[in-house]
């Protein structure tokens, strides 16, 4: 997955997609599939769903024979859908992402892509109430991460696995187990490069506090997520934190304002 961006350019995009500067408005242009994918990840984190989808279409057209990168691109399509509640449609894309890896030998890139596919499918299953399936799928990711050992390049996959573990436990009513996963994600993200991953991990901690009826702590953590996501331009996370506050006795106008901004940026929430 080597990029052909000029020296320093890919690191700039990495800093927005998976690093310390997630809210940057002006992004380096894409010159290949990987840079287009990084732009899509960055834009999705900011809630620019329409622009992110355009970048993913460009990335697909440029990806060539690199099936690990192709798979990551399709998994990202699924992630954007899932964030907006389109779990069944997302599951189709996650399944397609995994199918692209049939016959691909295991290395860091393919393991990252497979883990993204399985954690995505687990989250999709959770979204439609299929908790047992979600647990089986996340176990597949665990097996691959265990086999990879201490591969530092898979930091993102380890965090995402803990996110989905927390969400599955919350869905099953096990707030204590959920908190263990959320705290593990927070510890991993606190030592990692990504501000966005730290903020989302804090959001899950807030949700676990709420599920444990520790509302003062839930509100404090969620307000911090609202502030941090506003500071770094992470509008989807700001919306989610504001929704958590509103659902636990703290009405606010932030959720509606964030949802309106997401809509203007091309995001369409699923309406059952």
In tens, the pLDDT along 43-64 reads: 999 999 999 999 999 999 999 9
Q: How many CB atoms sit inside 10 A of residue 64's CB?
A: 10
Domain 68-180 class? mainly alpha
Q: Residues in the chain with pLDDT < 70?
A: 1-10
Chain centroid to Cα 95, Å, comes to: 17
> In this predicted structure, what is the pLDDT of residue 11?
84
pTM of this prediction? 0.95
Helices (H), 100-234: 108-127, 131-148, 155-171, 175-190, 195-211, 215-231
Q: What is the pLDDT of residues 1-13, one digit of tens each?
A: 434 444 445 689 9
> In this predicted structure, what is the pLDDT of residue 7?
41
């Amino acid at each position: 997955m080597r990029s052909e961006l000029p020296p320093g350019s890919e690191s700039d995009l990495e800093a927005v997609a998976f690093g310390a500067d997630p809210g940057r408005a002006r992004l380096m242009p894409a010159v290949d599939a990987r840079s287009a994918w990084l732009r899509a990840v960055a834009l999705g984190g900011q809630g620019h769903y329409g622009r992110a989808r355009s970048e993913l279409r460009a990335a697909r057209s440029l990806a060539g024979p690199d099936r690990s990168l192709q798979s990551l691109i399709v998994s990202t399509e699924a992630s954007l859908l899932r964030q907006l509640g389109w779990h069944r449609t997302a599951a189709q894309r996650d399944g397609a992402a995994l199918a692209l890896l049939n016959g691909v030998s295991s290395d860091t890139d393919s393991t990252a892509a497979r883990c993204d596919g399985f954690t995505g499918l687990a989250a999709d299953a959770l979204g439609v109430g299929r908790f047992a399936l979600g647990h089986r799928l996340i176990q597949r990711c665990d097996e691959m991460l265990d086999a990879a050992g201490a591969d530092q390049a898979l930091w993102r996959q380890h965090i995402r696995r803990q996110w989905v573990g927390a969400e599955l436990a919350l869905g099953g009513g096990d707030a204590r187990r959920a908190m263990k996963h959320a705290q593990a994600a927070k510890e991993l993200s606190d030592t990692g490069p990504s501000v966005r991953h730290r903020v989302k991990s804090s959001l899950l901690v807030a949700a676990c506090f709420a599920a444990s009826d520790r509302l003062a702590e839930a509100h404090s953590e969620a307000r911090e997520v609202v502030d941090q996501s506003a500071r770094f331009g992470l509008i989807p996370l700001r919306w989610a934190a504001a929704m958590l506050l509103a659902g636990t006795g703290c009405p606010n106008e932030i959720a509606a304002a964030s949802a309106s901004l997401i809509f203007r940026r091309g995001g369409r929430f699923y309406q059952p």
